[in-house]
Amino acid sequence: MSSKDKMLITGGHPLVGEITVSGGKNTAVAVIPAALLCNAPCTIENLPDIEDVHALIDILRLLGAKVEYVPECYMRIDASTATGCHVPYSLTRRLRASYYLLGALLGRQGMAEVAYPGGCDFCSRPIDQHLKGFAALGADIHDRGGVVYAKADKLVGNDVFFDVVTVGGTINVMLAAARAQGTTVIYNAAKEPHIVDLANFLNSMGAKVKGAGTDVIRIRGVQELHGCTYTVIPDQIETGTLMIAAAATRGDVTIRGCIPTHMEALTAKLLEMGVRVTENDDSIRVRPQGIQRAVNIKTRVYPGFPTDLQQPMTSLLCMAQGVSTVSETIFEQRFKHLDELRRMGAKIKLMDRTVLIEGVPELYGAPVTVTDLRAGAALVVAGLMAKGVTEIYETSYIDRGYERIEEKLRKLGAEIRREPI
């Protein structure tokens, strides 16, 4: 990846004010391919205007679907004209979630040829469980030359037991099973909010999905789905990133349009640190109260502490009083941000999958490089905390998942801008 600009942040300004969170990235990237499962127009609202969404539009158009997108309003997908089944690497390399085209195309027409995905490369991210699920439904799977070929004359519902809890695998099997013959039961399913949101979207199209949000999901396949209008849930990782940024700058920020119950694991840790967090029905306010203390964190599947907030949280803990530990249990090498934080004065030691962080009184600005989306969020948080100017390179990783991030932070008082390189 090679970005044409860099982000410049002059740290030390407390974020103050109100901000509305965008629609969920990880919901958006599942719901958009899901629209391929029906031959009538679907209108999807509250989609974030991010690079991953643009990459999916290009893929759907290549497959022959009609897509009309008015950012911040709606996307209308009419898949009745889609006949393609091949998605080349030139497109799948742009986003991880391109693997959802496998489930969506299998469900639609029993045939998919999708190149292995690109996206954020923070460690090996296998999709064996997705493929095992498709095979259980009767698909014949093989891969050659970096492309997964999946074919089924008829998909038939079956029991699928995941060996690991996988968000992507759960979503992919739900997509394939929605139009299979008979009932599919996914055991050891992931429970993330975007899985519930996808189930709600599928059910709005006439699918029969029950149990999403628990670890057993039942999908009774239907022959046909119909069009619908659907609004995706707010992005809990953007919400969390903004909460962390507020705490990191000792600001006073109200985040509107979020779902506070999705944030419980982070809220609990911020409270433990000594940050004041108050919740309303659809807003969260984060304010400082005295010293911020070190805490210990272990990433877990939902409703545990999300791996996607591990990196920004590490930045916040760099200036907490005492020694914190952050253990990553989902992606064993999601630590590429640590070297960059060290450049900024952080005292960090990585031992196996656990980061030991000794709080320092200050971080200072430095040139740093983003290596993946949430590493980018971590460096933005660190830049907001640091004394002086932080120059962030490879910003396109950030644009993959955060809508207009600098505009939002500037509105809260941050000194942040982009410059061409």
Q: Which stretch binds ligand EPU (CB under 6 A): 148-156, 167-175, 259-267, 287-295?
A: 167-175
DSSP code at position 299: B
Q: Of 38, 42, 120, 318, which residue is the catalytic one?
A: 120
Residue 120 appears among annotated catalytic residues = yes
**Residues 85 and 107: beta-carbon distance below 8 Å:** no
Q: Which of 94, 336, 337, 374 binds ligand EPU (CB under 6 A)?
A: 374
For residue 202, CA distances in Å to 34, 101, 185, 225 come to 7, 15, 16, 8
Whichever of 292 and 307 has its CB closer to ligand EPU, that residue is 307
Our finding on whether 120 is near ligand EPU (CB under 6 A) is yes
- Strands of 323-327's sheet in order across: 296-298, 323-327, 354-358, 347-351
Q: Which conformational region is residue 212 in: left (phi greater than 0), alpha (psi within -120 to 50 degrees), or beta?
A: beta
SS3 label, residue 380: helix
- The set of residues, in sequence order, having a beta carbon less than 8 Å from that of 313 and lying 6+ positions away, is 244, 266, 269, 297, 305, 326
Q: Which of 61, 86, 125, 208 binds ligand EPU (CB under 6 A)?
A: 125
For the segment 278-317, give every residue that binds ligand EPU (CB under 6 A): 307-308
Nearest CA-CA partner of 175 in 212, 144, 145, 142: 212
Our finding on whether 96 is near ligand EPU (CB under 6 A) is yes
For tokens 């974020």, the residue is: 15
User: Hey, which residues does 69 pair with through a beta bridge?
Assistant: 75
We find the least distance from the C-beta atom of residue 128 to ligand EPU, in angstroms, to be: 5
For the segment 237-266, give every residue that binds ligand EPU (CB under 6 A): 237
Our finding on whether 26 is near ligand EPU (CB under 6 A) is yes
* Cis amide leading into 288 (omega within 30): no
How many angstroms from the chain centroid is the CA of residue 197? Answer: 13
Q: Which stretch binds ligand EPU (CB under 6 A): 9-17, 118-126, 285-293, 406-414?
A: 118-126
Q: Which stretch binds ligand EPU (CB under 6 A): 42-50, 107-115, 121-129, 378-386?
A: 121-129
Whichever of 230 and 302 has its CB closer to ligand EPU, that residue is 302
Our finding on whether 217 is near ligand EPU (CB under 6 A) is no
Our finding on whether 128 is near ligand EPU (CB under 6 A) is yes
Whichever of 125 and 208 has its CB closer to ligand EPU, that residue is 125
Q: Which stretch binds ligand EPU (CB under 6 A): 151-159, 163-171, 205-213, 336-344?
A: 163-171
User: Hey, which residues does 189 pair with through a beta bridge?
Assistant: none
Q: Which of 207, 316, 330, 409 binds ligand EPU (CB under 6 A)?
A: 330
Within 13 Å, how many C-alpha atoms sit on residue 159's CB side? 5
SS3 label, residue 171: helix
Our finding on whether 373 is near ligand EPU (CB under 6 A) is yes
Give the binding site for ligand EPU (CB under 6 A): 26, 29, 96-97, 120, 125-130, 164, 166-169, 190, 237, 307-308, 330-331, 373-374, 401
> Mind telling me the catalytic residues?
120
